[in-house]
Amino acid sequence: MKQRYFILTTLAAFVAVSSVAVTSPKRPNVIVILTDDQGWGDLGSQGHPYIQSPNVDALAAEGLRFTQGYAAAAVCSPSRSSILTGRTPFRNGVYRFLPLHHFCHLPAKEITLPQLLRESGYQTAHFGKWHLSFYDEDKRWGGITTDERKEKAQSERPLDPFVFGIEGEPSMNDYGYDYWLVTGNVARPSHKNPCNFFLNGEPLGMQTGFAAQLVGAQFEAWMQNTCKTDEPFFATVWLHEPHGPIESDPRFMDLYKDLDDSSLRQYLANITQLDEAVGQIVKVVEAAGQTDNTLIWYTSDNGPEGATDEGKPGDPDVAPGKQRYRGSTGGLNGRKRYTHEGGIRVPMIIKWPAGLNGAGTTCDVPVIGSDIFPTVLELAGIPLPTDRTFDCASIAPVLKGESMKRERPLFWRNSSKTYRVALRDGDWKILADGKHTKFLLFNLEEDPNEATDLAGSEPERLESMKKMLLEYDLEVLRDGPDWWKKEQGKAVPAGL
C-alpha cells in the first residue's frame, strides 16, 4: 500500500510553523537513530538481495517508510548539523566534514533542537558519533599536523591519545544535552574494541566489544538508571556503522558465509551489526513501557562510501581497508560526497504507534534531514524560533495522513565534486557547479537515477529553476558564517 501526498513549493520566505495539537495523549518521546554512510539500498526493506536487517525492517513494517528521504548534505558533519538546527550547512556554519582539530564547528549562536526541548522539560541525551566540534587524535590514529589549537589541546591533556572538546567552543551541555556518550569522529581503531569514547566528558579508554552494541548498552543504562519515566525524553543515537574502519562481529559475518567475498561479508555484517543495536533500543523502550508514545526516526547521514557497490574485485580484504566499502545506492547515480541522488537519498523510517496514521505503508513525499527539527518541535508543542531563516518544513501533517505545504524547495550545497549545488522543486531537480556556470536538469519522477539531462530540451524549466537555485544559494552564502571562504573561496560565484 502506498500513500501519495500533495506538496507545494514556492520561493516565499519560510513561514514559522505554529504549535498544533496532536492526537497523542502526551508529548512524545523522540529517538533519532542516525547511521553513518548507509546507502539508500542498504536494508532488506529497501530491496537489498543479501542484507539481513530484521529490526530495522520491523520499524518499516510497523511504521512509515519514506521512499524519497534525503540527507541535508552528502557528507557527515554538515548533515548532522542540519538535523539539530533545521538550517542548511552553509547557513549554520558546518560547511564541511570536520577533520582533526579544525576551526569549523557548530557555532554557539545556533539554536539546537535539544536546547529547545530541554528548556521545555525534556530529558536529553546523545549516544555515539558526534563530529560537530573539536576533537583530536595522536598520530597513531591519524593526527599528523600541528597548529595552535592542537598544541593547546595536547598541552592540557598531554598523555591522552584522544581529546574531545576545547575551550572556546560549545560543550555538549551547551548544545543542549544532559547526558552524552560520544566519539569525536569514527570509532578508533575500528568498530572492534574502540578506544575513543567519552562519557559525560570523561575518556573511557578501550572498550571491549563492537561500537553499535556498546552504544546500545549505554542507551539501555541511561534508560534504566537515569531517564525518568514521568518526563518526556529526546535522544540522538548516532551509530558509527557502516563508516570505516569497518570491523564486524564474527557472529554476523557467519550469516553471510556462503558469499565468496570477504570484504562484502564484512560490509553486510556491519549493517546487521547496527541492526542488532536498533533492536536493542526498541526492546529497551518496550521494557520501559514507552513504546506507544515514542517516535523513532531512523535515517542515514549520507550515501555510501567507496567507488562502486562492487568494490575493487581481486583486492585483498586487509583490515580495515577501504575495499570493505561496499554500500548500495539502490541503483541511484553518485555516492557519498556527490550531490546526485546516490549521495543524498538515504533510508528513512518513522515509527510512532500513538501518533502515526498509516503504519506499515510507504510514502513518496520528499523529506530532508533538516525536517526533523520543526517536526519534533511541533509535536512537542514548541514554536519555531522566529529570529532566523530555516531550510525545513514540519512533516507532522504527513504523519497524520494529511497533505503538507513546503514553503521552500529542497536545497543542497556540498563542498566537493563538480556539481556541488542542487535544488529540488516538486519532481524537478537542478544541479550546478559551485560557480553557477554548469547546470544539469532532471525529472526525478520519470528518471530517479538521473540518467537523462533535460537542460537542453527544457529551456523554460531550466531558466526558472536556475533563478530559484541562484537566489537560494546566494542567500545562504551571505547569511551564514563565512568560514567557507578559507577553503571554498574558488568554488563559489564571483563577488562573494
* Continuous H helices in 18-92: 54-62, 76-85, 89-92
The residue among 366, 399, 432 that closes a domain is 399
What does the alpha-carbon distance between residue 56 and residue 201 come to, in Å, rounded to a whole number?
A: 31
pLDDT recorded at residue 101: 85
- The CATH number given to whatever domain includes residue 432 is 3.30.1120.10
What does the alpha-carbon distance between residue 38 and residue 178 come to, in Å, rounded to a whole number?
A: 28
* CA nearest neighbour of 298 among 48, 22, 71, 5: 71
pLDDT recorded at residue 7: 35
pLDDT recorded at residue 496: 86
The residue among 369, 399, 429 that closes a domain is 399
178 phi and psi angles, rounded to 5 deg: -80, -30
253: cell is: 559475518
Instruction: Kindly state whether residues 380 and 442 are assigned to the same domain.
Output: no
Instruction: Kindly state whether residues 463 and 374 are assigned to the same domain.
Output: no
Instruction: Kindly state whether residues 455 and 315 are assigned to the same domain.
Output: no
Note down pLDDT in tens along the chain; length 496 residues: 444 333 333 323 333 333 333 344 589 999 999 999 999 999 999 999 999 999 999 999 999 999 999 999 999 999 999 999 999 999 999 999 999 889 999 999 999 999 999 999 999 999 999 999 999 886 544 443 445 545 554 455 444 678 899 889 999 999 999 999 999 999 999 999 999 999 999 999 999 999 999 999 999 999 999 999 999 999 999 999 999 999 999 999 999 999 999 999 999 999 999 999 999 999 999 999 999 999 999 999 999 999 887 776 667 777 666 789 999 999 999 999 999 999 999 999 999 999 999 889 999 999 999 999 999 999 999 999 999 999 999 999 999 999 998 999 999 999 999 999 999 999 999 999 999 999 999 999 999 999 999 999 999 999 999 999 999 999 999 999 999 998 887 889 988 8
453: cell is: 539531462
pLDDT recorded at residue 163: 86
The residue among 342, 365, 399 that closes a domain is 399
Q: How far is CA 475 from CA 22, 30, 77, 180, in A?
A: 34, 32, 21, 35
289: left (phi over 0), alpha (psi -120 to 50) or beta: left
Q: What pLDDT, in 10s, does the model give residues 293-316?
A: 999 999 999 999 998 877 766 677
- The CATH number given to whatever domain includes residue 61 is 3.40.720.10
Full DSSP string of 281-348: HHHHHHHTT-STTEEEEEEESSS--SS-TT--TT----TT-GGG-----TT-S--TT-SSHHHHB--E
pLDDT recorded at residue 462: 98
pLDDT recorded at residue 281: 98
pLDDT recorded at residue 488: 83
pLDDT recorded at residue 154: 47
Q: How far is CA 93 from CA 125, 169, 197, 476, 479, in A?
A: 23, 13, 25, 10, 10
Contact 180, 132 (CB under 8 A): no
The answer as to whether 176 is a domain residue is yes
* CA nearest neighbour of 234 among 119, 126, 109: 126
Q: What pLDDT, in 10s, does the model give residues 40-82?
A: 999 999 999 999 999 999 999 999 999 999 999 999 999 999 9
The answer as to whether 19 is a domain residue is no
Instruction: Kindly state whether residues 328 and 471 are assigned to the same domain.
Output: no
pLDDT recorded at residue 16: 36
pLDDT recorded at residue 408: 96
pLDDT recorded at residue 160: 60
The answer as to whether 319 is a domain residue is yes
- pTM of the entire predicted model: 0.92
Residues β-bridged to residue 433: 419
The answer as to whether 278 is a domain residue is yes
Instruction: Kindly state whether residues 440 and 357 are assigned to the same domain.
Output: no
pLDDT recorded at residue 490: 81
Amino acid at 415: S
209: cell is: 566489544
Q: How far is CA 24 from CA 59, 295, 354, 379, in A?
A: 19, 11, 6, 9
Amino acid at 86: G
Instruction: Kindly state whether residues 390 and 427 are assigned to the same domain.
Output: no
What does the alpha-carbon distance between residue 32 and residue 83 come to, in Å, rounded to a whole number?
A: 9
The answer as to whether 4 is a domain residue is no
Instruction: Kindly state whether residues 231 and 94 are assigned to the same domain.
Output: yes
The answer as to whether 413 is a domain residue is no
The answer as to whether 303 is a domain residue is yes
Any idea what DSSP says for residue 18?
P
Instruction: Kindly state whether residues 303 and 195 are assigned to the same domain.
Output: yes
Residue that the C-alpha cell 541511484 belongs to: 332
Instruction: Kindly state whether residues 472 and 356 are assigned to the same domain.
Output: no
Instruction: Kindly state whether residues 309 and 422 are assigned to the same domain.
Output: no
Instruction: Kindly state whether residues 315 and 209 are assigned to the same domain.
Output: yes
Domain, as residue range, for 430: 418-491
pLDDT recorded at residue 136: 86
205: left (phi over 0), alpha (psi -120 to 50) or beta: left
Q: How many domains are contained in the chain?
A: 2
305: cell is: 562510501
Instruction: Kindly state whether residues 277 and 241 are assigned to the same domain.
Output: yes
The answer as to whether 436 is a domain residue is yes
Residues 381-387: contacts with CB under 8 Å, at least 24 apart: 381/19, 381/21, 381/27, 381/120, 382/19, 382/116, 382/117, 382/120, 383/16, 383/17, 383/18, 383/19, 384/16, 384/17, 384/86, 385/16, 385/111, 385/116, 386/16
